[in-house]
Each structure stands twice: as structure tokens, then as C-alpha cells.
Structure 1
Amino acid sequence: MTMTQSHGVLAPGLLAQAARLGGQVHWAAPITARQVHTPAGERAVPHWVQFLQVMYWQEPGVLKDAQGRRVDFPYLDETSAHVVSEPRAWLTIARDHDCGLYLVDLDTTDGEYPDDPVVHRVQAGDSGQPVPDGVPLSQVLASLTWSPQWLEYGRACLRGDVADIHAALERGAGTGPLDEHGITPLHLAALSRDDAAVSALLERGADPDARTGTSAHIYRTYTAAPGPRAPLHIIKAAVTPLLLAVETLRHGLSPQVPGIVKLLLDAGADPCAVQAGRHAPTPLETCDELSRLWVIRDDVGECRRLLQHAISASPQAHRARRAAARRLPEPAGSILASPGRDAYAATIYEEKGGGWRALTCRQMRAWLAAIYSDRDLVIDVGPSGEPRAVCPRPGLLAAMLEALTPVAGQLTLHVGTGSGWPAAVLAHRLGPRAVITVDEDSARRTIAEHRLAAAGYPEMRVRDTDVLHDAVGQPVDRILATAGGTHIPQVWLDHVAVGARIVAPVGAGVVCLEVTSRGRAQGHFLAAAYTPLHWHAPVPPEDIEQVAAAVRETNEVPLARVRGEDADLLLPLSLARPDVSVHATRDGGCLLRTPDGSIAQVTAGGTVQQTGPHLLWDSVRALHEQFPAPLHRTDFRIVLTRGRQVVWSPDHGPTWGLPVEPAD
């Protein structure tokens, strides 16, 4: 598109209205040429044209500039069909804040231009509002304009000019929406990174939870005057000042943003607000996302602490904690209170239809119900849908801590930081300097450090599991692992003192080990059950379809032995078949599967179907015969030596050698 310059003026009355456009006129330049070439021939430029460019259609529906180059407008729609139905030329009169283009038809005036010509809006704006047709220029200018006071007030808020904001407020300016997009002064001040500007507006009663109506390009309205550029180009639909303030953290270190966040939260802003969109993040999720991208940033960490405190202090959270204290048996109930899991699980994943459903505080009731329940929470899911980390259920962590018997002053190694909650519980009991926590995933390590720092443990660092020797540096007295495996890693035995205690998941159970000598330990399984990580994975619908085609057999094994909290065959099954995963089905049955494609499904009605290279339910039948009910997990023993680990029950069944790494 081309622009030619001129000293022409608008007709009397229209010039004043055009001046009121302020920053709303875009691509504006005075026009000098008084003749333009159009498909219909030479046309004089009307005397009321002061700004903008000449465009025309050389062929129906194709917009060209004055040099015949095609100009693409992505929002051109069927409402403009009558305007571009034949070649003609147009002068652009104004481009409004909503991306609408207003054009005057040059080919239909025959050189006679009225003082107030009719214009057409040929490009729909972001809001998708109906496109007016045949509107007089004066009406267009009036619809696009606001008073200079309004415009300067908004610009002052965006640049954080407290003196100008106070002056505008003293002149009677309000704190409500400034335009049809629902943008308020507080939205703009939240982007200014100036807490004094936010404070000035809140003191005058600005709504901390005000939401925008439709998306708006703020540069096109609020940045025409000199001043710092805002960190965001577009304010999206249904956003609050708090969401905008947290969003500015994406654009570099922002020391004043935590102050803005605190002011908004203290004024009653919803810490769980989300913008329009099905997968829009909460402010807390945004902080966690930024934690994956950067090392520890004080501004991100402080914002996270403020947001988490606001959520934990909400009436809904108080009610959920009281209900959990009444419902859950001790010590599971009390372990949730100091510290609570809500600070360490901004996003949890629940199985739904063979996939995952993300649950955050935006679904406050369901999220709190999960947080304050005695069940594991999946907190990290891989790109292929595989679960990668779990926050353990309170009852399990309480049982593990009871068996660990940590003592203040003893050095404790925690393996499997995950959400950071178990490490925080240990730090709360023993002090942060007595706890070393490690995790294999770099993103989880960074997020956990942010969470621990926000919880009051800024000195705690989450180390890499692969550099355990450097992370520990001295023999430890206790090892607590909340991430399970098929055996106890030899490297743990190399970093514990004689007499130390190890509590860790093995298969579908938890072992408590006493280190009797260098490289040797022995112990037993706890009564608490453990759900291996891969058992949390959703069952693919195709697996269910595949096994449904298999021959039906009669099931003689009580379903309660493999399904539910008291399922006593799950531990020996996980030892006999470490690759198996067990999943409860919605019809009251269960499904077993292994990576080689073997699948077995048993129904509550007493039938079994099996398919694949191995008949998995036959393994369950064998264990049912070897271990008469009731079988107790505490009956199982374990002995570890260098290069060999053995599990057995003194009263029943076989002895299993765990799949350990070869000895050096």
C-alpha cells in the first residue's frame, strides 16, 4: 500500500472530529497529490481528505495498492462482498482500534465530493461485530473517537505516571471501562509494572477482578504518546488485571510485579482467574511454566508465594482442610496440614476416557477435593501421555515417615523430589539444612526449588539424581524415596552409614531396610501399599477393544485380591512380573497389561479374557494357589548384598531375585 502526502484539510467540523481520534488513526500521513489513478481513470482527491492511502480493486475481491500489488487482509469476509464486487478505487479514511477499515468510494462520486461523504467498513474487526454500510464520515469519526482526557488518562495508566493518574482522578475520571473492549485503567496500570499506579487506582475503588470484553491491540490506542512500551501487544478477552500483571513476568525480570500482585490480591482479586480459552493457565500455572524456563528468579518465586498463600487462605481451602481432618485417619490428616499439598500441585492430571484431564484451582472444588484426599496425584505427564511423576498420598507418606524415624540433626536424603511436597514435609520436621533432595528431571527440579523457596526454604536446592555422589558428599543417616522402582539402587548403599535406614518403594510395596554393614542391608515390607508409576497410565481404548475379542473364561480368583486397597496379590504379582501394570476398570473389574502387548481383563461378573504373548491372568492364578488368603505385605522379607537382592515370604511361595544392576 502506498501513501502520498498532501496539505489538504477536512471540511469544517470534520477536522475537529478527526483530531479527537488521537492515536486511532494509523498509517496516517498528509496527502500532497491531488489526483489519483483508479481503474475508472484519473480522480481528484477530495478536499476533505487529509490522511491515509489510496487502494483499489483491479479485479473482484482482490485488493491492490496504487502500484497494483496485492494486499492481503485476513479478516475480509462475506460482509464485504458487495463492496469488492467490481473494480473500483477507494480512499482509506480511518483504521479504528478494532482493526476495521473505513473507505470512501472514489469511482462512484464522479468527482463531486460532499462535505460528509458516505463510507464503507470493508474489513471486520477483532470483535467480529456486524459491519455497518453506508455510514456518513462524520458518524464514523464520532464512533471512533473519545475525548482527549480519556485517551491521555489511559496512556498515563499504561506508562505508570502516578501524577497524571491522580490529576485525572481529581478531574473526575472514573475507574470503569475506558472503551467497548472493557479495558479499565487498572488493566493498563497492571501492565505498567508500577505498583504506585495500581495502588492509586485501587484506593479509588477500581475493581481488581474486572474482565475485558473482547481482545484489543493496546499499542493502537494507548502508546501513541511518548512513554515506555507496554510488555504486551494485545490484551485478550476475559482477562483480569492480575492475569496481566503475572503475564508481564514473561518479558524479563520485573522486581515491582510482586508488589502489584500483592496489591491486587489484598484487594480481593481471584488468584485462580483464567482468561478466555479452554486451556488458559491460571496465574499459578504461569509461574510454574516460567520456572521451567529460567533458573531461580526472585520475582517469579515471590509471585508464586503470594498466589499460593491467597489460595491456601481462601474460604474454600479452609473448608477442604477441615473436612479432610475429620475424614482422614491419623496421621494422614495431620500431615496434610504442615505443609499442605495445595502449595505443591498447581496442576494435577486425572484419567479420563483413555487420556488425561488437567485439574487446577480454576476448578476449585474438584481440585481441592483431590488435594485433600488420601490418594496419589499425577503431577507430570510426558508428551506421549505417560505419567512421569506423582505426589504421594498422605497416608503413604505418613507410614513411610513413621518407619523412617528421622531424627533432628541426622542427614536425610530424599529421592524423587517430584512436586517438592515430601521434601517440604521433611524440611518442616528436620530443618532444611538436614535434607538433601534429588530428582532426575531438570524441569521438576527447578519448579520444586521455586516452590520450596516460596514455602520458606530458599536455601534448599534440588540436585540431579545422576550426580548423587556430588550431591551428598558424606554418608547419610536416612534415605526416603517417594519414587519407586524394581529394586534398591546400589549407589544408595554406597552413600549411607552403617546403621542407617532406607524406606523406599519396591514393586507394589514399600521396604524398610537397616544397613547392617558396608554394602549390605536387610528388612521387611510395610503394611502400606504403593502404586507403581506406570500403573497410573490410562488404558488405551484399543487395548480394551483387543482383549474384548478374546475367548471368555471363568475366573476363580476373588477379584478383591487384585483390586482395591486390600488387594494382597498385587505385591507378589509386581515381584513376579515387574513389567506388569494393573488398572481398575469402571465396571468394577480390572485390567492387566505388559509392554509386549499381553492383556488380561477380568470383570466383576466373574469372567476373564486374555490375549498376547503371555497369559497374564494365569500368573495371578498361580499366585492365588501359592499364597492363600489373607496375605500380609509385612510377611515379606528382603536382603540386599552387592549385586544381589532377594525377596521372599518365610511362610509361602517362591523367592524372587530383583533385577539389579551388575556389581562392579
Structure 2
Amino acid sequence: MTITDAPSADELRHHMADRLVREGCIRSKPWRAAFLAVPRHEFVPAFFVRSQGRLHEYSQGDPAWLAAAYQDISLLTQFDQDGTATSSSTQPSLMAQMLEALDVRDGDTVLEIGAGTGYNAALLSHRLGSDHVVTVDVDPELVAAAQARLRQVGYAPTLVAGDGMAGYPERAPYDRLLATCGVGRVPDAWREQLRPGGVIVVNIGCGIARLSITADRSATGRFLPGLATFMTARPTPDTVRGTAGSLVQPLLTWTGQTRVITIPAGLDTPGPQFLASMLHPTISDFALADDDGQQIRCLFDPVTESWARITMTGVTSARLDHGGPRDLWAEREPLLAHWRDAGRPGHERYGLTVGPDGGHSLWLDEPDGVSWQLPE
């Protein structure tokens, strides 16, 4: 359809839904109907957009606010005292892909982890009916705001302020679980609160996994195309996380053991990034350059205070300085080397199995093929 110079919210919503259909993110009529019906702008009266390293602020009444609300981008809606974003409205194309991956049927009940603005809960409520949707968020203020906006546009799912990692057993068992926050490992409670045959769609590391629940409460499945990183799930509303900025100076000056290593592949390329996020979901991992322009990779484990500093000395050669009880590079290198030797497979060829005991294993191509037990 043609967009006028000053498009209405309805026109913008139709334009967004049509684009998501063309791009293959929306594949079914019910989800197209949901995106057409639910007004995203009602859930984001004020937000920030990160562009070219800067934050741009939009609020209701600004000339560009309405159009920005319907862009296919994440809208940042809350920050902590350090300026780290703690809530957002997810990029619509990613939301659509995850909702389609849920493969819901009429009558299914869905547990959503991470209420955020409430927009995703509204989409679920439109598709399944409010009585079939439960959404949990750790922040009571976010829950209250989301509930008010949901009611304003005609939806009334069950909203709960609490630790999403514990699920919500009061309404279990569920048919589907959708996590709109990032986790390092799938909590036992999620598997236990789903029916056999149920589906979990969740951001783990920088991958999106679609896992099916078996009779013994195992969960197994593949990763969806495309990489993404959601805001990490918080156990409490005021959880404080260390930032990379606070680690730069220490990691440049700490001394420890040193050895020469060979880098199997560029650490900033998608394959190694994906595998590193699977193996080390809680490790701070960032790159910087020293005063001489040398590229340095820094790893830090906040639990054991183990660290590694990788300084490139050639195309594949590097100097490794490290300290603490864990040798982080020695843990990571075999997985990266296998990826290189296997022909650099795309992340969508990998899958994940969570056993009845909660152990996580990453596998390539088939669950009974080559696999790696992931640390807890």
C-alpha cells in the first residue's frame, strides 16, 4: 500500500505487517491479523532508539514518534542507574519469527517470560485469547504499566510480578513457553511446567532455540536462522551487572601466565560468537585496541574472577595472558577448532538438548551425532 506524507497509526501498522509478510517473518494469517490489530505505539509512549552509537529519544507528541514506533527496530524503554537498558520492545521481525516458531494452536496456553512493555502479550492475547496467556516479569513497575496499557487496548492476560526463572506453577501445565529475555541455560522449572509435546522458544546466548518437551521432561531442538541477543533475565529488579567499561583498565594491566596460541577463526565472526555464547554465557567478552593499535580480546568470569587477554600478533597467532582458577581459552578453543575443521557450519546446523537432570548438550546436525556437554 502507499504511505501518505503523514500516515496514520493504522496505515503504519498495515505497512509493518505487510513488510513482515514479504520478508517471511510472518507466515500465517492469524499472526498477520494480530500484528494488524495490536497498536504497538500504545505500549511505547516514550522510548529511545540506538543509532550510529547514539541514543535518540522519542516521546508521544513528537512529530517522528508515531512513525518510529512502527520501525522494525528495538525500542529501548527503561535504563538502570548506569545507563544500561533493562527493558525494550523487541524488533517486530524477531518477535514475529519467535511467535511463528511457537506453532500455537487454538486453545493453547502460553507462559511468556518477560512482560516488558506488554506488546508481545497483546499479540499472544489477540491470537489465543487473554485467558490463555500468562506473562511474568521481575519488575513490578513494568508489570503495572504493561497491565494498564493492555487493558487500555482491550486485553487482559494474567500478569505476574516475580522471578521468571521460576515460571508460574499456579497455572501450569502450559502448552508453550516464550522467553523474551536472554538466558544462559534453560531453567528446570520451565521444562517441568510444560506438557509433553510442549514447545519452548528462548534466546540462549546469541541464538534462538526452539525446543520440544518429551515424556521424560527433556527438551531438544534446533536453533532458528538469525542471531539475536535479548536483555539478560534478572533475578531481582535491581540486579547490578558489571559493565565492560569497568573491566577495561584491569584487563589491560593484570599479569599472569603467558603462552603463544593459534586462533582457529576470527573471534568476532558469527560462528565463533555463537559458540562462545553457548559455552560461556556468563563470561564478559569484548574486544578493544591498545595504544599501538593491536587488537586485544578480553574474557572475564565474574564468579571465579578468572580472566584472559588475547593479543593478536599475526593473522592467526596471538599471545595469551591469563589468570584465575579457570583457563577460559583452553575451555573455548576445542569447540572453535572443531567448528573450523567441520567447514565452518552455520549456527542453524546446531541444536540443543536439555536432559531430565538439567544438563545441556550442544550438538551438530543430529542429537545423537557430535555433541559437547556445556558447563552449568
TM-score, normalised to structure 2, is 0.70
| Partner Cα distance (1:426, 1:584) in 2 | 38
Quote the Cα distance in structure 2 between the aligned partners of 1:501 and 1:314.
41
Which position in structure 2 is the counterpart of 1:547? 252
* Residues 419 and 448, structure 1, Cα contact 8 Å, conserved in 2: yes
Residue 434 in structure 1 maps to residue 143 in structure 2: no
* Distance 1:609-1:548 versus aligned 2 partners, 3 A rule: farther
Distance, in Å, in 1 between the alignment partners of 2:363 and 2:64 is 41
Where does residue 425 of structure 1 map in the other structure? Answer: 123
Residue 415, structure 1, aligned to residue 129, structure 2 = no
Give the match for residue 179 of structure 2. Answer: 481
Q: From 21, 38, 53, give the equivalent of 1:339.
A: 38
* Amino acid paired to 1:655: W
- Displacement of 1:591 in angstroms is 5.6
In the alignment, structure 1 residue 637 sits paired with structure 2 residue 351: yes
Deviation at 1:406, TM superposition (A): 0.8
Q: 3-state SS of the aligned residue for 1:482?
A: strand
Deviation at 1:417, TM superposition (A): 1.0
Mapping of residues 249-398 of structure 1, within 5 Å = 315=7, 322=15, 329-331=23-25, 337-345=36-44, 346-348=46-48, 350=50, 357=55, 359-361=57-59, 371-398=69-96
Partner SS state of residue 342, structure 1 = helix
Whole-angstrom CA distance in 2 between matches of 1:546 and 1:626? 28
Taking the aligned partners of 2:184 and 2:162, their CA distance within structure 1 comes to 17
Q: Distance in 1 between matches of 2:280 and 2:174?
A: 32
Compared CA separation, residues 365 and 531, structure 1 to 2 (3 A)? farther
**Alignment correspondent of 2:238:** none
Q: What is the letter of the counterpart of residue 500 of structure 1?
A: G
Q: Secondary structure at the match of 2:281?
A: coil
Q: Structure 1 residues 351 and 460, CA, compared in 2 at 3 Å: closer, same or farther?
A: same
For 1:523, which of 221, 232, 237 is the aligned residue? 221
Q: Please give the secondary structure, in 2, of the residue aligned with 1:530.
A: coil
Q: Separation in 2 of the partners of 1:469 and 1:319?
A: 37
Secondary structure of 1:414's counterpart equals: strand
Contact persistence 2:115–2:136 (CA under 8 A): yes
Question: What is the SS of the residue equivalent to 2:352?
Answer: strand
Give the total of aligned pairs.
337
Question: What is the alpha-carbon distance in structure 1 between the residues aligned to residue 12 and residue 204 of structure 2?
Answer: 32
Q: Which amino acid in the other structure matches residue 329 of structure 1?
A: E
* Cα gap change, 1:331 to 1:623, in 2 (>3 Å): same
Larger radius of gyration: 1
Secondary structure of 1:359's counterpart equals: strand
**Pairing 1:175-186 to 2, within 5 Å after superposition:** none
Q: Which runs of 5+ in 2 are unaligned?
A: 234-240
In structure 2, distance between residues paired with 1:444 and 1:495: 24
Unaligned segments of structure 1, at least 5 residues? 1-312, 660-664
CA shift for structure 1 position 627? 0.6
Offset at residue 445 of structure 1 (A): 0.8
Give 1:449 deviation, angstroms: 0.7
2:283 partner amino acid: V
1:572 to 263, 268, 275: 275
Indicate if the aligned counterparts of 1:508 and 1:574 stay in contact, CA closer than 8 A. Answer: yes
Report the AA paired with residue 252 of structure 2.
Answer: V
Q: Give runs of aligned pairs for residues 443-462 of structure 1, distance below 5 A.
A: 443-457=141-155, 459-462=156-159
CA distance in 2, matches of 1:533, 1:493: 21
User: What is the aligned partner in structure 1 of residue 361 from structure 2?
Assistant: 647
Aligned AA for 1:460? P
Deviation at 1:590? Answer: 8.9
Q: Structure 1's 341 and 469: CA in aligned 2 closer, same or farther, altered over 3 A?
A: closer
Alignment partners' CA distance in 1, 2:69 and 2:309: 32
CA distance in structure 1 between the partners assigned to 2:60 and 2:225 by the alignment: 36
| Residue 630 of structure 1, CA deviation | 2.9
Alignment correspondent of 1:493: 191
Instruction: Note if contact 1:509-1:528 (Cα within 8 Å) is conserved in structure 2.
Output: yes
Aligned residue for 2:183, secondary structure, equals: coil
Task: Tell me if structure 1 keeps the 8 A contact 2:110–2:132.
Answer: yes
Please tell me whether the aligned partners of residues 380 and 390 of structure 1 are also in contact (alpha carbons under 8 angstroms).
yes
Describe the shift of the 1:330–1:636 C-alpha distance in structure 2 as closer, same or farther (beyond 3 A): closer
Q: 1:537 to 1:339 in 2, by over 3 A?
A: farther
Q: Is 1:399 aligned to 2:124, yes or no?
A: no
Q: Using the aligned pairs only, state the percent identity.
A: 24
Which segment is superposed worse, 359-368 or 424-433? 359-368
Distance 1:431 1:539, change over 3 A: same
- Residues 542 and 438 (structure 1 numbering): CA distance in 2 closer, same or farther, change over 3 Å? closer
Q: Which moved further from structure 2: 645-654 or 492-501?
A: 645-654
The answer on whether the counterparts of 1:418 and 1:439 sit within 8 Å (CA) in structure 2 is: yes
Q: 1:626 to 1:554 in 2, by over 3 A?
A: closer
Letter in 1 for 2:350: F
| TM-score normalised by structure 1 residue count | 0.43
Residue equivalent to 2:335: 623
Structure that is richer in strand per residue: 2
Q: Could you tell me whether the CA contact under 8 Å between 1:377 and 1:392 is conserved in 2?
A: yes
Give, in whole Å, the separation in 2 of the partners of 1:350 and 1:548: 31
- Specify whether residues 584 and 352 from structure 1 end up closer, same or farther in structure 2 by C-alpha distance, changes over 3 A only: farther
Question: d(CA) in 2 for partners of 1:617 and 1:338?
Answer: 49
Cα deviation for residue 446 of structure 1 reads 0.8
- The aligned counterpart of 2:203 is 505
Per the alignment, residue 598 of structure 1 pairs with 307
- In structure 2, do the counterparts of structure 1 residues 507 and 490 end up closer, same or farther at CA, with 3 Å as the change threshold? same
1:470–1:537 Cα change, 3 Å: closer
